[in-house]
Structures are given as C-alpha cells and as structure tokens.
Chain A
Amino acid sequence: MKLEQTEAWEQGPTDMSATTQSPVVTAALREAAAETDSRQEGLFQYKDLLLMLIWRDIKIRYKQSIMGFFWAVLMPILIIGSGMIVMVVFSTISGHPINKTDVLAVAAKAVPWAFFVAAIRFGTNSLVANKELVTKIYFPRAIMPIAAVLASFFDFAVAESVLAIVLILARVGVSVQIFWLPVLLAALMLFTAGLALLLACANLFFRDVKYLVEVVLTYGIFFTPVFYSAAKLGKWGWILMLNPLGPILESISSVLVLHQPPSPTWLVYSAAWSVLIFLVSWRIFQKSEAAFAEAI
C-alpha cells in the first residue's frame, strides 16, 4: 500500500518505481538511478504540512475559544435534542417509558455522527476551498481532505470529552468493552477519510457535488441508527445495518453505554467497507490528482 511505501521512501530510494504514478516519471527515475526527482517525495515527507494545515483549521475555529468549544458541542447537542423528540414520540406510541440508557445511547451515537457530517462536509470542499494552493504550489493533494477530516476529529475529541463527563455523572461506569473503542474509531476514521478523498475529488470536477452531499448528509440520519437502535426495527433492523456507519455507531454505543461487545459479523462487515472505500478512493484520488490544477 502506498502509505507504507512512503516510509520506506524516507530511508532511501530503494524501490523508486513503486511510488510513482505516470510511466513518464517512472522512466525518468530509472534513468536518474540513485538521484531522486525532488518533486516525487512521498506523503510522509509532508508530515509537517499536514500537521500545520490541521492546526490552521483548528486555530481558526478556536480563535475565539468559547465559540470554538461551542461549535464542537453544538451539533451533537442538536442531534441529541432531536433524538429526544423522536424518543418521546416512540414512547407515546408504544407506551414504554423512556429510560436513561436509551438517551445516553443516542448521545454516544450522536457525537460520532456529528463528526462524520462535519468531516465529510469540510472534506468535500477542501480542494476547491484551497484553489489557490492547488493551482500554484505542488504538494500531495491528499493532504487537504485528510487535514480537513483530522481537524474535524479534534472537534470530535472535544465533544467526546464532554460526553465522557456526562457518562461519569450519569454513573454509567466503564467496562472492559471500552478497549473496542480504538478499533471502532479507526474504522470510522478510515471510512470517513476514504469518502472525503473521493468527494473532494468529485467536487473538484463537478462543483454541484457539494449540494448533493449536503442533501445526503441532512437526510442520512434517518438511514443511520442514531436516534434509535437498529434492534427497534425488529426483523427489518438489518437494513439499517447495511449502511456501513450503522454497525460502527451501534458498536460505539454498546461498548460505551450498554457494556456489551460489538457484533463480530457486523463489525467485520463495516471494517471491510471502510478499508475498501479507503483503498478505492485513494486510488481514484491518486489517478486524478495530475488533472486537478487544470480542472479546478
């Protein structure tokens, strides 16, 4: 995989043809033997730039620190609020009272959902918003959507900290299941980053992709188990789980709130999607990168 090779690239140009894309450059590098074409450095070389762009995005949002913090928790609070309304409606119809666990489960799912929405929205625009950089300066373009996703991840971390406090206050407790969390977050990140790469690229070529994305993100919450658990749908629950985000969100809420292990089948299903989406998107992104400066 490309990312791994770039680290080897750091050590020295041992296998140069592997990191290059176009046959022209491949030939060039072979000819140049041990000399590197300085423009073909790997993504790893740009670690500082990636960190700097993430820092920029965070810095700008948190310039007024109160507002920055507010933004990080606003979306999750709104989602939890709407979830409460949905739950009240459900409980009125079914006659079952709302319990604390249900509310907290919605909260545990609302925070990662808010991250997904923000990261995709931000990531989709990342290339077009930095048009000046795309047309004037060379660096691996994948840095931009990835920086956008990681900057949103910072907000997510802030919101998760708030959630942790809420869970502690609600005396939910912690179980050994929490060790699943890194795995679940990795799958969520991979899925989100993959989609962001693909959509950023698509939005560069077709500027109305962002409107389409907006619509899908707005209504996507109804096709994802956030307000309610898939189990509530009874025998049709599996349809909601087909959405790769479904099992991830359900698993997050079950390891944090319900203290139950995630369903292995669904977890594997989601993880497979995440890896697949990321790899395919990465490939498409790399293939079309050369045309960005002309098409933007």
Chain B
Amino acid sequence: MGHNGIQFSGVWKKFAKGEKFDSLRDLIPSMAKWLVSGNHRGELRQREFWALKDVSFDVHGQALALIGPNGSGKSTALKLLSGILKPDRGEVHVRGRLGALIELGAGFHPDLTGRENIYLNGTILGMKKAEITRKFDEIVEFSGIGEFIDTPVKRYSSGMYARLGFSVAAHIDPEVLLVDEVLSVGDYHFQQKCFDKMRDFVRKGTTLVFVSHNMAAVSGLCKTALLLKHGVPVFLGDVAGAIQKYYSFYEEETSNDNIELAEVRLRTAAGEERDVFDPGECVVLEVKLKALQDLRNAHAALLIHTVDGQLVFDTATSRLLNNRPLELKKGETATVAFTLDMNLRSGVFLMGFNISSEIDVPGQYIYYNGCVKRVVMSREQKANGIVHLNPRAELTLG
C-alpha cells in the first residue's frame, strides 16, 4: 500500500429540489404546454441548490473524519468518492482498492441464506468469488452468526443482519475505506469489535474517510477532520479543533413574541465569564429576560445534554423555588440564575435554558423561549464516563 489515497479538489455538487418529472404522464403534458406557451424558461427549470461548495481535501494513508450537522453534505461527499455521483465542478480521484461501509447488507436477499448472501453481498462490494471463499470462515467467525449461516436472512434479527453485513464489508481489505455512520449497529460488544477493526485498517495504512455524529468515535479514529456546514467547508485540520467548532453550531438562541433574552451569561461563582470549566467547578448560568407580553405562571428550566443528545441533568425553578412562578407584566424584566456544581467529565456539553408555562393539562407545557450554550469541561485524565464523581483511591499493602 502506501500509495493509496483520495484527492478531492474544488468539488461542487448541485441537487435539484422540488418537483421532478418522473413519469411520462407528467412529462408529455408539460412538454406540450412548454411548446404551446412559448415559456421556454420558467416552468421546466428546477430549483437547484449546492450540496457541496468548493470542497477540497487530500488524504493518503490516514484517517479523515467528515463531520457536520444533518444536511451538511457529508454523505454526498462519500457518494462522490464512491463514484455513485459525479461532481458538477472539480475533480475527485481515488487511488487504491475502494471499499465502502455505507449501507450494511446492501443487496442482501431475504430468501437466500446467510452463506449465499455473503457471496452475493461480497461480489456487490467488489470482491472476487474466489476471494470470498478464501475469507469465508473468517467472515462467519467475525459476524458471530455461527450455526445460523444456512438460515435464510429473513429469519435473522436486525442485529444479526447488520452484523453479517458489517462482517462482509470489513473483509474487503480495502486500501481506501469509506465509512458512513455504521458503528451504531449491534450491541456494545459488536460495536467495539467494529471500532477495533477500523482502527486496524488505519494502522495498516488504509485511507479512511469516516462520517459520524459520534464524536467519541471520530476522535478515537481520526487525527484530522473536515467540518462541513450547508455544503461549505468550515474547518479542515486537527480533529479536536474541528469538534470544538462543530459544537459551537449547537449554540443557538430562539426568540419569539413573548420574551426577549436580553443577556445570557455563563460564569464562575466569582463572576468570571467563560465557557471552559474544570470538573467540579461551580458554574452560574444567568439569564436576563424581558417580557414582551404579559407572562403568567411561567417557569425557567435548565437542561444539560451530552452532544449525543443524552440528557445528563435537568432542573427547573418550579422545583427549586417551591413552585414560585414567574409573573411579569409586559415590559418588565427579571433575571434567572442557576448555580451548579459541574461534576462532569471532560468534554463538551450543551446547556439549554428555556421558559415554559404549564397549561391546563398537567404535564403539558408551552415553551416560550430558549437558548443553548456550549460548556467545555477541561481535560481531566482521572476517569471516563459522563459524570465526574471526584474519585480517590487508597492502596493498602499487607
């Protein structure tokens, strides 16, 4: 190997949105109309948008992560690399045997057995028949399907299906590997196995392009990352920087006619404003708000999520202040402050704030307004996980 790689230079790709003529029944009348009306510009023209705008990168024998919110063009980039799509402008080169873990079990036929589907899927992914025969035992072994190998795959559980799919794809021995969010298959044990397999590829010098929303996996596999937003390359460089930047996309503020969030401050107890804290540090979120309408029986809530969307913690003034509601007349202002001991592990968290009021049905809320702040917990090497439980250890000999 060593000579494999990907070159993506100045790539633009456009898609048409809106209605397309995909039947003759629609096409013929519209063509007739087009001929008769003499309107040779308007109606048949489709609205187009750029899915990728001037994206360039080079990878040779390393791992590159493509990250970005949904709709940022990551999968489009992978499809351009695999040759499914052609760029409108720019050039895409791939050198070396290409393998793609994009759709697990693509082309699996439900009526065929696991054994037959290994051959079918393997050749679809570009393997020769003899090669599959050679690797067959290894593939079955890795998938953990075992005795079910001669059962039609329609009787498989979805986990077994995905495991077999990954197993075939992982044995292509690619020089260039494209991976699109496939680590979410199977149980924890299998995910770990997949992850290790990909790490092996990278160690062996495979060029890897990895698309994922799982930032732990991204930083575990890749040293560099390209961050895309709406098809525009925002950041290309070291993975930590890209991830930081990625999370800043989540910072948002919504406003409506009810409340204006005049000031949102994230600070230490001492009043120093910052967004990077040490685990265990005391943090204050202070929000100054102004009522644009009369506000009755409202409460403020605070939620902390991991970047994967897992709720870490939530609380509300209704619980903390003995159900004392927020009552404001139009034009009045108030300040809500939440103070927390941030016993969280190192990494990035999203702190959300919103104002809601309970309507007649208990448990049903109307949300007025909110914002999300990014909180970075500084590096703390003592432990892993979500929370920081301030660990200490003792060792007594004898």
Contacts and interface: CB of A to CB of B under 8 A. Distances in A.
B3 A35 contact: yes
Give the one of B21, B94, B125 with max A CB within 10 A.
Answer: B94
Interface SS of chain A: helix, strand, loop or mixed? helix
Nearest to B119: A52
B85 A294 contact: yes
Nearest to A130: B107
Interface residues of A, number: 39
A132 B94 CA distance: 23
A48 B125 contact: no
B314 interface: no
A52 B23 contact: no
A37 B98 CA distance: 10
B223 interface: no
Nearest to A212: B24
Interface in B66-108: 79, 82-87, 90-98, 100, 102-103, 106-107
Interface in A92-128: none
Given A60-B109, A138-B83, A133 B98 contact: no
A293 interface: yes
Contact of A48 (B87, B128, B175): B128
A38 interface: yes
B181 interface: no
Interface residues of B, number: 45
A137 B100 contact: yes
A60 B111 CA distance: 7
B98 A38 contact: yes
A27 interface: yes
B85 to A, nearest CB: 6
Interface in B103-141: 103, 106-107, 109, 111-112, 116, 119-120, 123-129
Contact of A56 (B91, B93, B102, B109): B109
Contacts of A51: 129
Interface of B: 3, 15, 20-25, 27, 79, 82-87, 90-98, 100, 102-103, 106-107, 109, 111-112, 116, 119-120, 123-129, 175-176
The 4 closest A-B pairs by CB, nearest first: A39-B83, A138-B83, A136-B103, A52-B123
Given A60-B109, A208-B24, 20 more contacts: A24-B86, A24-B87, A35-B95, A38-B98, A39-B82, A39-B83, A39-B94, A39-B98, A48-B123, A49-B124, A51-B129, A52-B129, A59-B116, A132-B107, A134-B84, A136-B106, A137-B84, A137-B106, A138-B83, A209-B24
Interface of A: 22, 24, 27-28, 32, 35-40, 48-49, 51-53, 56, 59-60, 63, 130, 132-139, 205-209, 212, 290, 293-295
